[in-house]
Amino acid sequence: MPPPPYMPPPYMLPPYLESFVEKKERDQKDNMAAAVGYRASLVGARNGRKCLRSRNGGRAERVDGMLARTLVRSARGVAGRARQHATRLLAQAGKKNAALSIVASEKIDAEIPASVNPEVAKSKYGFEIVKEEYVKEYGSNCVLYRHTGTGAELMSVHNRDENKTFGAVFRTPVEDSTGVPHILEHSVLCGSRKYPIKEPFVELMKSSLNTFLNAFTYPDRTCYPVASCNTRDFYNLVDVYLDAVFFPRCVEKTDPESGKQVFEQEGWHYELDTPDPSKLQYKGVVFNEMKGVYSSPDSVLGRVCQQALFPDITYGVDSGGDPRNITDLSYEQFCDFHQNFYHPSNTRFWFYGDDDPETRLEILSSYLNDFEANQAGVEKSRVLTQKKFAEPRVVTDYYAVSEEAGQDGQQKAYVNVNWVLEDDVFDLETQLAFGFLDFILLGTSGSPLRKALIDSGLGEAVCGGGLEDELRQPTFSIGLKGVDSSSEENLKKVEDLVLSTLESLADKGFGDSAIEAAMNTIEFSLRENNTGSFPRGLSLMLRSMAAWIYDKDPLEPLKWEDQLAAFKKRLEDETPTKLFGDLIRKYLVDNPHRVTVNLLPNTTLQAELDGEEQGKLDLLRKSMTEEDMEELMRKTRELKTHQETPDPSEALKCIPTLELADIPKESQKIPSSLTEMTSGGEKVEVLSHDMFTNDVVYAEFAFDMSAVPKDLLYLVPLFCRCLTEMGTSKEDFVELTERIGRKTGGLGAYSFTSGVKDEDGVRGYVMFRGKATADKFADYCGIVQDIIQNVELNNKNRFRQMVLETISGMEASLVGRGHSYAMGRLSAMRDAAGGAQEVMGGVEGYLAMKQLKDRIEQDYDSVVADLEALRSSLFHKGSNMLVNLTADDKTLTSIEKEVQGFVDSLPSRGVVGTEQWYEGKDSSLLLPKRNELLIVPTQVSYVGKATNLYKDGQLERSGSSMVVSKLLSTTWLWDRVRVVGGAYGGFGSFDSQTGLFSFASYRDPNLGSTLTAYDGSAQFLKEVKLDKDELTKAIIATVGDVDSYSLPDQRGYTALVRHLLGITDEERQQRRDEILSTTVRDFHEFGEALDQALASNSQVSAVTSK
């Protein structure tokens, strides 16, 4: 799901994917997070999803919503918020004996590394202490330093977390939308003084055990973070990044032509391959990336809202770059920007974790000693504030839709009401209070402002992100999309509804149950302290930066314990109605700095944009002589030759790397115990994991889908949503939502489907997943029991709105995440699991939702009957059910009675047959094998191609295939699809369970040349030559993917997935042994199999406008 439309979505680095099995486990965890009450709001964790551009396009989706923010943030809504909440909560990561949640203590943990002696820090390394403070909320001793020679600032955070984090952050305000900070963020990682190769970043991807490696651009700052649990690897990453930001090849004055080639590759350039001037075109990674961004109506809305709210300052333009303006950026301006802003005086450094504090100072001083202070640059980088408006404004803009959409009556508008809340950063007290208000207003599907908008029927889904406080001036944004645009009156009704609802809430206040649910949800999230796979140190860094870059105290955003207690006291003293009513009136109802944005569909806009681009090229064509064309063709050839020529093996050795001896030979095991529980003559499996969770129980109740009729598969995702968002016969959905918030840390339902090794059938489950403290686990089980027995499925209005929201979300993701739909289609041509997934969430699922929308009006009784049929086919005790529990042994023992009681409450299954689709015996579930184009209104393409290496290439199953696939993505496909082709990303994905190998590109300007690159992969692998160092790097990077960092809840869920798929520890060890023993011959054999499979049985699916 795309990020809420107020600020830009992440600009991140281009993609490579982990092994398909590991990806599947990760995606299932992400899906879980969405369904699981991770609608929760968090004090202390706000998401940076709206403010970023990042270099890694493949990781953009995972990181989109993974970047933590300050104070309170809700992952509102269940569906589509998976990645956002899973990393919003602030985790105590790392060693088993480290507390998962916060246990506030005034004493410094004896195991925390001691801070550096102040005299040593100053005399030896040039750092003076500004401030030292123990932050009890995170068990961390924090030392703020200033470098005496340059004025650079460093926050050195010392604790027991093994997942070490580093970041360098620059203030980078802009005056236009040429995207210079975004292009520079890409470019500095393309070679440097100490690492003079084409792409050190890619070499790190190939050879590192990193737990995070990326870079991203906000509207006013640029961040370069890395993380690793391996200390040697961590310092290698830090050194490469420091050299990259301060001494990049892209601005090297001694070799300007080389630097300009980097700028042209990552930013923009003219390309002409033939003497035919009509073939002249713009190319460039960022140029094409932003074309993809501007194809998304949600992203367009975000930019229009931001720029309308801040017309006079840096937020009034797009730091990521508008494709219409990117081509105005000159290389000289690009170099000047680096000189002005990439200086230690304008840098805030962050170190976090259990590494040696003195080594941090030593590393930094070795770079900073080359510079002198630059106060003029510091002044230039200061972020100004927008003067508040004297009266509200209305802005109208447009987004592109296809002619077909217009003819089908799909010309739906977005209406978003936006406020700038304050003249500067919120003080901590206001930030905390407004954060709670934000959650109460919008945090769940039953929240009053969200519910009022949905119930109005004026639109199809809520848009706007509520409170956003990562930039200097906090904002609030809310509205509807899918609004009938046939009259201005319809648009005005949305604005009127938002304002009248807020006025009513200011007067009447909120119910005690809603406030209690919000308080429990927020406090649970804080104390659970869970960032998922996202490094906790980076989460804290981003929160700190939200104050630090504006010259505020960087530690204040990290301290919440005392403020939370004071807030509770304030609620008692002032009454919630007064406290929240005053906030609503001051910052929303009576605030004149309000902009209502009406974003309207336009069927001719895309043609106009294309025409504008071609018009600029036509002007150039007309002015070009034959000599000019020859020169441009020469430069095109030179750039492509540079891009296609690999660095010499000797040159690549400059990148520091680990040795195989540094890699554990044994695969990581998750503590698991499988027992059986008997109830009513039925046996139920219970899988439990003894891990320290600080009194939190993570629980899954899984029910297999073997009895679900094939013709009801398309309803399964909606049915899962109904379970927690339709209420029960005892409670309406608002009351149920509040009960979940009061009694648990989150609860939801979702579907899981997967293929299985050496089988044609499917593993499919509907799962309840959630968490609660041990003393409230009986409440957790009681809620699930009530839902199963009493869920209210006969609510036509509520169900209709859920269908409209689903359709709206799928339409947006088809444009923004087309590669996932293309890959899903290709999988659905191959096996039953892919077919089921396509029906439930792919293009076929989308078409089914469109039909369901009409059926609701014509025969809703039959829809209810189908939903009841799903319930009857799923919820029974017996062999079809599995319970998965993660907690420490004492807690697991203490909740056995509650688990038994829950199982006892379920009806027995009896004799139920298994559906043929589940056994893989119904070929009608599969899509026909054919090449296809899916046409959508977009300025870029998403190109997929797939084959099966086991069935069509006779490849033997081996862990070495993961190494080959990884290297193929980070070499051939990276170079041909991204570097030369200009796509934001290109990668290969191999499912070692089923043998499916898929190619995909992301925000791609090409079709044919991308397919040619895919087809060239086999020959590349058959001929590849790797020396010992290159092979070692590929193996290490693959192990890094397999050993991805995770917290107890994730580990417990991963063990569940492995159990369901029959993946044993013995098999995993065998695969690890095969990974570690990979040889060049394995690459050649993989290439032979790929060549055979592509030639005999492969298909193409692409999402495009071409």
Kindly list the catalytic residues.
185, 266
How many angstroms separate the CA atoms of 816 and 298, rounded? Answer: 9
**Angle in degrees, CA 51, 145, 549, rounded to 5:** 20
777 contacts: CB under 8 Å, gap ≥ 6: 697, 699, 895, 898
Q: Which of 1052, 274, 959 is nearest to 672 (CA)?
A: 1052
336 contacts: CB under 8 Å, gap ≥ 6: none
Helix, strand, coil % (nearest 5) of the chain? 50, 20, 35
User: Are 480 and 460 in contact, with CB atoms under 8 Å apart?
Assistant: yes
Matching residue, tokens 């040429």: 178
CA separation (Å) from 427 to 117, 439, 474, 778? 33, 18, 11, 39
Q: Which of 58, 26, 342 is nearest to 183 (CA)?
A: 342
User: Are 821 and 812 in contact, with CB atoms under 8 Å apart?
Assistant: no
CA separation (Å) from 22 to 25, 28, 354, 1042, 1076? 5, 10, 27, 7, 17
Partners of residue 809 on adjacent β-strands? none
Task: Name the DSSP letter for residue 648.
Answer: P
User: Are 993 and 21 in contact, with CB atoms under 8 Å apart?
Assistant: yes
Long-range contacts made by residues 642-646, C-beta under 8 angstroms, separation at least 24? 642/198, 642/261, 643/265, 643/975, 643/979, 643/980, 644/975, 644/976, 644/980, 646/971, 646/975
859 contacts: CB under 8 Å, gap ≥ 6: none
179 CB burial (10 A radius; 0-12, 13-18, 19+): buried
Partners of residue 722 on adjacent β-strands? none
928 CB burial (10 A radius; 0-12, 13-18, 19+): exposed
User: Are 191 and 248 in contact, with CB atoms under 8 Å apart?
Assistant: yes
Count CB-CB contacts under 10 A for residue 1077: 13
How many angstroms separate the CA atoms of 473 and 1031, rounded? Answer: 49
Q: What is the CA radius of gyration of the chain?
A: 28
Long-range contacts made by residues 365-369, C-beta under 8 angstroms, separation at least 24? 365/124, 365/125, 365/126, 365/127, 365/147, 367/242, 367/243, 367/246, 368/126, 368/147, 368/149, 368/150, 368/152, 368/344, 369/126, 369/149
How many angstroms separate the CA atoms of 221 and 216, rounded? Answer: 9
H helices of 15-173, in order, are 20-35, 57-63, 82-86, 118-125
Q: How many CA atoms lie within 13 A of 1053 on its CB side?
A: 29
In DSSP notation, 474-526 reads: -EEEEEEEEEE-S-HHHHHHHHHHHHHHHHHHHHH---HHHHHHHHHHHHHHH
How many angstroms separate the CA atoms of 1 and 820, rounded? Answer: 12
- Tokens at residue 971, please? 């070499």
Q: Which of 675, 676, 703 is nearest to 689 (CA)?
A: 675
φ/ψ of 424, rounded to 5, equals: -155, -175
